[in-house]
Structure 1
Amino acid sequence: MNKLYCEDLIRFSDAMSDSNRVIIISELMNGRALSASWLANRLNLSPQATRFHLKKLEDVELIEHRTCGKHRYYKIKNQETAMFIESTFKVIPPKDCLFLPNVKTNEKFKEARTCYKHLAGSWSVALTQSFINNGFIDIQNNFFEVTENGKNFFNEHKLLVNVSNTAFVGKRCIDFSEHRDHIGGPLGASLLQSMLQQEWFKQNDNNRELTITPKGRKKLKSIIN
């Protein structure tokens, strides 16, 4: 057996020898990107202790992080790593007692809210994934770019009307409640503004919550597939 392989196996075994790190890996295995603060709350640990465990997992290249605003979001490094971890879970599955209850947050807030100037929440994540699946936007590193098909689609639904070219580029922004990408930047701001003008959502004055209207729910369900 290759000595270097043995050393890697020992480092992996050491990294996975703590139940807190097993929980972190288990949480990340569904493809989400989670912030250190979210994980600290989930684990009921101090920020310092959580960062220690995250560094252990990064050192053996099981996870990596991406900075978004003031926060670091952690995810499984790549598909090959996820497949390797999955194979170890098949042999030694995590016990049910390792999983902690989900943090309860307001359902309406989780459904739709403003994130700076763009839409966030479950509706935003669903829209983003639908746009990707239908080829209306492409992923370019940390950005989304509207395709020619996307321009036609957005114009048809009056989602991008009389906007500058900068509105066709959006930043990949990780949704804190859904833990998946949604569209930020100029594209996200233009989309939200158009949806507000068409009264798909109503904006609450005193907080970030958005109220989806019957018209908006019908329109969104018709374009999300």
Structure 2
Amino acid sequence: MVSTAALAETAAALGDPARLNMLAALMDGRALTAGELAGVAGVAPTTASGHLARLVEAGLLAVEKQGRHRYHRLASPEVARVLEGLMALSAARPLPQPRTGPRDSALREARTCYDHLAGRLAVGMADAMVARGLLDLSADGGALTEAGGRFLEGLGVAIPAARGRPFCRPCLDWSERRPHLAGALGAALCRRCLELGWVRRVAGSRALAVSPAGRMGLREVFGLEAPAG
């Protein structure tokens, strides 16, 4: 059972704008250096080092060493889930992201939530699967039906054998305020959409652009209309 002191420590680590900006920049699953995160947070490198140490100590960030460089990433998909939930609860504007274009509209349309799809597009895909009896999603959890397994296998999604993380679960979307698909299954569907070229990553952001092939595929497979990327 989580102690009140541990909960307070985690909340305190999150309760700083600079640290939240750093965490938000890592929501696309990337690993960034301290210098890059300092730029995102708008603080000096020495100040960034203190913030990063606090986040690592709180179990929110993990550090990877490659040669002389140290890269920071979110410690787990659960951290991303907490951040997405906080965004959904917050009445404030979305947290800053590196600017690469029409930030707000692009992020609301389609983005990554750590390793799975989010935004209007992801919610629409989840809704379509639920409506067809392929997926069960509720506030208590999620389940893929037998028909849903056949559907995703037909799309070429490698159905994962979840180990150490939930297989299928809802994740409250901060912009749509409704659930999209997360867990190991959500990550597998995201990977397949990238492999098919339906969506592509937007440099410097967790926004996703939908390709012409993606618009056609999403229309034919999920019955969704997506804007041009």
CA drift of 1:105 comes to 6.6
Match of 2:203 among 202, 205, 208: 205
CA deviations 1:169-191 (Å, max 9, x no partner) are 32211111111110111111110
Tell me, yes or no, if the aligned pair for 1:146 and 1:169 is still in contact at 8 Å. Answer: no
For structure 2, which runs of at least 5 residues remain unmatched after alignment?
A: 1-80, 95-101, 224-229
Match of 1:69 among 82, 96, 105: 82
Q: Secondary structure at the match of 1:139?
A: strand
CA drift of 1:163 comes to 3.0
Say if 2:212 is the partner of 1:214: yes
Say if 2:115 is the partner of 1:117: yes
Question: Aligned partner of 1:135: which letter?
Answer: G
Question: Aligned partner of 2:204: which letter?
Answer: N
1:146-165 matches, within 5 Å, as 146-158=144-156, 160-161=157-158, 163-165=160-162
Partner of 1:135: 133
1:1-225 matches, within 5 Å, as 69-70=82-83, 71=86, 106-139=104-137, 141-158=139-156, 160-161=157-158, 163-165=160-162, 169-225=167-223
Q: Secondary structure at the match of 2:170?
A: strand
Pair member with larger Rg: 1
For structure 1, which runs of at least 5 residues remain unmatched after alignment?
A: 1-67, 75-101
CA deviations 1:64-106 (Å, max 9, x no partner) are xxxx6153967xxxxxxxxxxxxxxxxxxxxxxxxxxx99972
Where has structure 1 moved over 6 Å in runs of 4 or more?
Answer: 102-105
CA deviations 1:123-154 (Å, max 9, x no partner) are 10100000000011113653221111001111
Question: Aligned partner of 1:164: which letter?
Answer: A
Tell me, yes or no, if the aligned pair for 2:159 and 2:185 is still in contact at 8 Å. Answer: no
Question: Aligned partner of 2:208: which letter?
Answer: L
CA drift of 1:205 comes to 3.3
CA drift of 1:223 comes to 2.1
Q: Secondary structure at the match of 2:219?
A: helix
Pair 202,157 (structure 1): closer, same or farther in 2 beyond 3 Å? same
RMSD across aligned positions (CA): 2.7
Q: How many residues align?
A: 130
Identity of aligned residues (%): 28
Question: Aligned partner of 1:149: which letter?
Answer: A
Q: Which moved more, 1:167-176 or 1:184-193?
A: 167-176
In 1: Cα distance, 2:201 partner to 2:131 partner: 28
In 1: Cα distance, 2:109 partner to 2:159 partner: 28
In 2: Cα distance, 1:178 partner to 1:73 partner: 8
Tell me, yes or no, if the aligned pair for 2:110 and 2:121 is still in contact at 8 Å. Answer: yes
In 1: Cα distance, 2:141 partner to 2:171 partner: 9
Pair 72,106 (structure 1): closer, same or farther in 2 beyond 3 Å? closer
Question: Aligned partner of 2:160: which letter?
Answer: V
In 2: Cα distance, 1:137 partner to 1:168 partner: 15
In 2: Cα distance, 1:192 partner to 1:111 partner: 15
Pair 154,143 (structure 1): closer, same or farther in 2 beyond 3 Å? same
CA deviations 1:24-59 (Å, max 9, x no partner) are xxxxxxxxxxxxxxxxxxxxxxxxxxxxxxxxxxxx
